[in-house]
Amino acid sequence: MRKRAILALEDGSYFIGYSFGAQGETQGELIFNTSMTGYQEILTDPSYKGQIVVMTYPQIGNYGVNDEDIESNSVQVNGFVVKEAFFRYSNWRAKKSLHEYLAEHGVVGIYGIDTRALVKKIREKGTLKGVISTEESDPKKLVEKARRIPDISEQNLVKEVSTKEIYFWNQGDYDLLKGFITKNNDKPLIAVVDFGVKFNILRRLTTEGAKVVVLPPEVAEKEIERINPDAIFLSNGPGDPERVVEGIRLVRKYKEKKPIMGICLGCQIIGLALGGKTYKLKFGHHGGNHPVKDLRTGRIEITAQNHNFAIDSETLPEDVEVTHLNLLDNTVEGIKHKELPIFAVQYHPENSPGPHDSYYLFKEFVELALKE
Active site residue ranges = 264, 348, 350
Q: What is the C-alpha separation between 68 and 151, in angstroms, rounded?
A: 33
Q: What is the C-alpha separation between 99 and 23, in angstroms, rounded?
A: 11
Q: What is the C-alpha separation between 70 and 162, in angstroms, rounded?
A: 16
- How would you classify the pairing of strands 277-294 and 231-234? unpaired
Closest by CA to 327, choosing from 300, 347, 304, 309, is: 300
The residues, any chain, with a CB within 8 Å of residue 195's CB and separated by 6 or more, are: 158, 161, 162, 217, 234, 235, 236, 237, 244, 247, 265, 266, 269
**Distance from chain centroid for Cα 129:** 19
**DSSP state, 74?**
S
Closest by CA to 297, choosing from 260, 266, 334, is: 334
- How would you classify the pairing of strands 51-55 and 79-82? parallel
* C-alpha dist (Å) from residue 12 to 7, 54, 56, 147, 266: 11, 18, 22, 9, 35
Q: How many CB atoms lie within 10 A of CB 164?
A: 9
Task: For 13-56, give the DSSP string.
Answer: -EEEEEEEEB-SEEEEEEEEE--SS-HHHHHT-GGGTTEEEEES
Q: What is the C-alpha separation between 145 and 26, in angstroms, rounded?
A: 10
| 170, 212 contact by CB (below 8 A) | yes
Determine phi and psi for 243, rounding to 5 degrees: -80, -15
Q: Which residues pair with 53 in a beta bridge?
A: 31, 80
Q: Measured in Å, how far apart are the chain's first and last C-alpha atoms?
A: 63
**Distance from chain centroid for Cα 255:** 24
